[in-house]
């Protein structure tokens, strides 16, 4: 089954404690991206990757890092999380056109 | 930069009424996509429109792409409770053809 898998689905952490949200897709898509979703603000792109070892900033990259060492994986790294990064995060992949989204990760930073 | 504006932000209808959400871009779009997100779920692709003036139908849903390729609409005829959710339009970003610029979405509530 074609899918994008994110882990964890829910995470509560403390300010400053590094965390990684994993994302994996089994569709051999070249393009992957991360979004955050906040009430009233819709989906905002954090980072995207056109292919292995090719990543670039989206609209709201501050406080986040990504890596793309393999085609299937695109982890999102928060080196020092802060409360304003409390949000719902989605990973997505696409080949051309239609984007497939993961189930989402609800992150709370206290 | 390019912006995709979507209205209304919220819409509450009685089951059986029609619903329309509108999407406007500040620049001409090569294509526009529509997604639906159920409460507690993730966005799911509905359709992509590419041609100027294009109209596509999926059962009770009608999608239109404007002649100037700067606006689009989604119309639902005779809403059902299963239509509840947030509908997003998305256009290609100006900095990458693969990156998507999402509108803020229209949240639809349907009461029986």
Taking CB atoms and an 8 Å limit, are A101 and B33 in contact across chains? Answer: no
The helix/strand/coil state of B35 is strand
Binding-face residues of B in 39-98 toward A, CB within 8 A: 41-45, 48, 88, 90, 93, 95-96, 98
Q: How far apart are CA A31 and CA B94, in angstroms?
A: 16
Which of A34, A39, A43 is best to mutate for the B interface (most B CBs within 10 A)? Answer: A43
Closest CB from A40, A48, A98 relative to B48: A98
The A-side interface with B (CB below 8 A) comprises: 31, 33, 35, 40-45, 48, 50, 56, 58, 90, 92, 94, 96-104
Q: In the 8-state DSSP scheme, what is residue B49?
A: E
Q: How far apart are CA A88 and CA A65, in angstroms?
A: 17
| Residues A22-39: tens digit of each pLDDT | 999 999 999 999 999 999
Q: How far apart are CA A102 and CA A1, in angstroms?
A: 13
The helix/strand/coil state of A83 is helix
pLDDT at A88: 98
| pLDDT by 10s per residue, chain B, length 112 | 558 999 999 999 999 999 999 999 989 999 999 999 999 999 999 999 999 999 999 999 999 999 999 999 999 999 999 999 999 999 987 766 677 889 999 999 999 9
How far does chain A reach from its first CA to its final CA, in angstroms? 36
Q: Chain B residue closest to A95 (CA)? A: B98
ω into residue B89 within 30 of 0, thus cis?
Answer: no
pLDDT at A84: 97
pLDDT at B35: 97
Taking CB atoms and an 8 Å limit, are B42 and A102 in contact across chains? Answer: yes
Taking chain A (110 residues) in runs of 10, the rounded mean pLDDT of each run is: 94 97 96 94 92 92 97 97 98 89 98
Q: In the 8-state DSSP scheme, what is residue B98?
A: S
pLDDT at B3: 80
Q: How far apart are CA A24 and CA A36, in angstroms?
A: 17
Closest CB from A31, A45, A99 relative to B45: A99
Closest CB from A35, A42, A100 relative to B103: A42
């Amino acid at each position: 089954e074609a899918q994008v898998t994110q882990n964890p689905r829910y995470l509560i952490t403390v300010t400053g404690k590094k965390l990684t949200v994993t994302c994996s897709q089994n569709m051999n898509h070249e393009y992957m991206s991360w979004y955050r979703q906040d009430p009233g603000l819709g989906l905002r792109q954090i980072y995207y990757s056109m292919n292995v070892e090719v990543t670039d900033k989206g609209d709201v990259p501050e406080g986040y890092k990504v890596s793309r060492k393999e085609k299937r994986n695109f982890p999102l790294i928060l080196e020092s999380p802060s409360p304003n990064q409390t949000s719902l995060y989605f990973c997505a992949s696409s080949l051309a056109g239609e984007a497939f989204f993961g189930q989402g990760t609800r992150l709370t930073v206290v | 930069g390019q912006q995709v504006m979507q209205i209304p932000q919220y819409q509450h209808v009685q089951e059986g009424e029609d619903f329309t959400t509108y999407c406007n871009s500040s620049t001409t779009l090569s294509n526009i996509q529509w997604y639906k997100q159920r409460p507690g779920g993730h966005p799911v692709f509905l359709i992509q429109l590419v041609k100027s003036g294009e109209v596509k139908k999926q059962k009770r849903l009608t999608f239109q792409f404007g002649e100037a390729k700067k606006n689009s609409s989604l119309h639902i005829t005779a809403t059902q409770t299963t239509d509840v959710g947030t509908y997003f339009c998305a256009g290609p970003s100006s900095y990458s053809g693969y990156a998507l610029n999402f509108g803020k979405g229209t949240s639809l509530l349907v009461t029986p």
